[in-house]
Amino acid sequence: MPVARRQVLAAAAAAPLVASTLGGTSAAAETVRETGDYLVGRGMADVTGPAAENGMMGYSMPQQQTAGIHLRTLARAFVVADGEKRIAFVTAELGAVFQSVHQGVLRKLRETYGDLYTEQNVLLNATHTHAACGGDSHYAAYDLAILGFQEQTYNAVVDGITEAISRAHADLKPGTAHLGRAVLTDASANRSRSAFDLNPQPDKDHFPLGIDPAVTVLRFAQGSRDVGAITWFATHGTSMTNTNRLISSDNKGYAAFAWEQLDPDFVACFAQTNAGDMSPNLNLSPGSGPTEDEFENTRIIGDRQFRAAKRAFDAAQEQITGAVDHRMCFVDLSKVTVDGRFTPDGQQHTTCTAAIGVSMLAGSREDGPGLPIPEGIRNPFLDWLGGADAPIPDGLADAQAPKPIAVPFGAMKPYPWCPEVLPLQLVRIGQLHLVAVPAECTIVAGLRLRQAVADELGVPLENVLVQGYANAYSQYVTTPEEYDAQQYEGASTLFGRYTLPAYQQEFARLAAAMRSGASVPPGPTPRDLRGKLINFQPGVVFDDKPPGREFGDVLTEPAARYRRAEQVTAEFVTGHPKNDLRTGGTFAEVQRQVGGEWRRVADDRHWSTKYHWTRSGAATSTAKITWDIPPNTPAGRYRIVHHGNWKNGWNGEISAFTGTSRTFVVT
């Protein structure tokens, strides 16, 4: 599936006539709701950040910086309208959608669409891959390991998500949606079983294997043609380990890639649910299970999700009918008074100022430990912030008990290190309801949250899903019982033991408003921290080339002949990838000669390719491109092409170049 396939979806801008009908009458909307005919659009765009020397988001490892691309990261969008209301749903292959990104996307949408797309009806979420670029948060906690705010990454993410929504908007056509379901039991394992076991038996009875095996698929068609699907399944984006330095969309990215290979116009979105304690590492060790190879594990876990999704998709018989609706408000999670009907002891309790526990600093042993900063190495961004040794406010230790506090994120100065005013959103598409949580819930926390909403709405539990990692990021949500264990997830539950009950209460309030048709007060306005953070990651000063060489020259040529399943390698003189992210394009191509033309058959969005970038000197660098020849590759003549850019040290000018290997034969 070449990167260029995205241009097919961009061409959908020829749908203004359809789009002009969206402000239909209420009578028209009622007809849509009764028949299940909607306006449906889908779009896709690139959100890949710098492919070199940018910290990765997820493992909190300062030394884990990008050094190439395995799977370029994308944002996939769907717009669904019923003639009266609409929602825009986006899943981006990122570690998290931060509040800064949510704010930035809404600003850009407002410039183009006015009040058509707002915080009320736009739902942004992340796959939670741990192999995408970081540094796009305006809150310090999530930029610590990246050495500060990375504007280049931020712009790539905001622009890409906005473009995906714009393409979905332009693609709107009459369509339908159907629900499908399946069960998948060999793509996740409970990485915090001792905490899970502390929950009451009725909760555990919902998950006899200790995992959430539910696969839910929303199948979209325009007329009689299937055009896309959203698949929800709970497993972490941690098949790739904390030693990997290639940008990767991880297992969910492979699942999407595998499905989209079947149809270049199909958009396959693989979203998260309550994946907080669900690991793809089936042997509960980083990079282990079902094999000991992280790339192969990524493929296998992704393929299992794809095949389960396809089963649910093919069997989807339940047509979506009814209204498109939404409720959204901001809540200060650090000061919620929780009614006793949502707490384990039936008593009123309150949440508290955000803090992380000691166990959080160690990371998850099953997916990858964090923060192993060698002795003597300092973090200049942390120094600029004034260090992490802030005093713990009076009473916070008691409020966070039994958590031993490591860092009081919410009490840091001059600004908290994490957001406390968070977006809570409830979205309805016919009979399906999405509880958009700005955090990662464990499976039992997700169950209780779904039950609270389902009970308030009077709908079946299976028609309410937790949409995790949505619109902002505030780490974990555990049950009070799991919190007491102070495993990694409990230590990362920021607002204390009653964080989940607070969410249950506030989402039940949104559900009650949706049921009655009432509006919801917007709540407090989250702070805007643009320009408040600094970047300590060095940029590109200039690029140089070895003596006697030019940019794009081939340093290592492929062999003359290969068989299928063998690996082709070519190396080139290159410049720094930060000079041009090649958004929507590629650093690497595999081309096949067909007649008298060279045609692209793979690029850096393909599973079969890897683009490695390495420094070979103070200002010189090398690009190594590998191609694992797929077993179904046609025999013929092929070549490797590298695209790059170099920066002139005298005038700062950036120039593009292309290098091409010699021809080789695949037999």
Cite the active site residues.
Answer: 279
Which DSSP helix (H) or strand (E) runs through 501? helix 499-516
Q: Identify the sign of the CA torsion 131, 238, 119, 86.
A: positive
> What is the phi/psi pair of residue 243, to 5°?
-95, -10
Calpha distance 630→637 (Å, rounded): 15
Calpha distance 294→302 (Å, rounded): 12
**Which residues, listed in sequence order, are joined to residue 551 by a DSSP beta bridge?**
none
Three-point CA angle 408, 409, 415, nearest 5°: 120
| Of 60, 98, 467, 92, nearest in space to 274 by CA | 467
Q: Which two tokens stand for residue 191?
A: 């990485």
Contact present, 273 and 150 (Cβ < 8 Å): no
| DSSP code, position 552 | T
Q: What are the strands, taking DSSP E only, across 234-282?
A: 267-271, 278-279
CA of 73: how far to CAs of 96, 409, 437, in Å? 13, 30, 22
Calpha distance 531→423 (Å, rounded): 22
| Of 402, 451, 499, 439, nearest in space to 203 by CA | 451
Give percent helix, percent strand, percent coil of the chain, each to the nearest 5. Answer: 25, 30, 45
Q: Which two tokens stand for residue 149?
A: 């705010």
Contact present, 468 and 440 (Cβ < 8 Å): yes
- Cβ count within 10 A of residue 92: 29
The per-residue DSSP string of 109-164 comes to HHHHHTTSS-TTTEEEEE--BSSSB----SSGGGTTTTTB--HHHHHHHHHHHHHH
Taking every pair of Cα atoms in the chain, the longest distance, rounded to a whole number of angstroms, is 77
Three-point CA angle 244, 247, 253, nearest 5°: 105
Calpha distance 275→189 (Å, rounded): 10
User: 63 Cβ partners below 8 Å, 6+ apart?
Assistant: none
Strands 588-594 and 337-338: unpaired
Residue 515: strand, helix, or coil = helix
Question: 128: annotated binding-site residue?
Answer: yes
Question: 597: annotated binding-site residue?
Answer: no
Calpha distance 561→563 (Å, rounded): 7
Query: Can you say whether residue 363 is alpha, beta or left, with left for phi > 0 and alpha for psi between -120 and 50 degrees?
Result: left
Question: 440: annotated binding-site residue?
Answer: yes
**Which segments are annotated as binding site?**
128, 236, 440, 476
Annotated binding site for Zn(2+): 128, 236, 440, 476
